[in-house]
Amino acid sequence: MEFPEKLKYTKEHEWIKVEGGTATVGITDYAQDALGDVVYVELPKKGAAVEQSKGAAVVESVKSASDVYAPASGAVTEANGRLETNPELVNKSPYGDGWMFKLKLKNPSDLEGLMSAGEYRKYVEGKK
């Protein structure tokens, strides 16, 4: 399992990376592993408003469909169009090419309640 230090994590297994006022969002290595082979990803549209802890995207795998919750509130500035034709990127590179969407943060303080890499590692290890 991979837990990149520069990211923040949610209990629902999303990650967020903030660079300036823009945040990139995806699901964690743990989440993609639990889902199995991802076959479809439904992403939010550019300009859509997402709210922290509310559904923003959907990931379908051979096992199930799962909501992807926004780790922070904001406006979607970009969705990863590569996932439309290559949903398996979520499995192959959950922290790289498999990112889901980017947003302009509405309230940077949303990040304060998220877990660090070390906290998230302990959280998922407690689930095994």
pLDDT tens-digit profile of 20-34? 889 999 999 999 999
Identify the band that residue 128 occupies on the pLDDT scale cut at 50, 70 and 90.
Answer: low
Domains in the chain with CATH codes: 8-107 (2.40.50.100)
pLDDT digits over 62-117, tens only? 989 999 999 999 999 999 999 999 999 999 999 999 999 999 999 999 999 999 99
Phi-psi region of 70 (alpha: psi -120 to 50; beta: other; left: phi over 0): beta
**The tokens of 80 are what?**
């990863």
Q: How far apart are the first and last CA of the chain?
A: 12
Cβ 42 vs Cβ 120: under 8 Å? no
DSSP 8-class letter at 113 = G
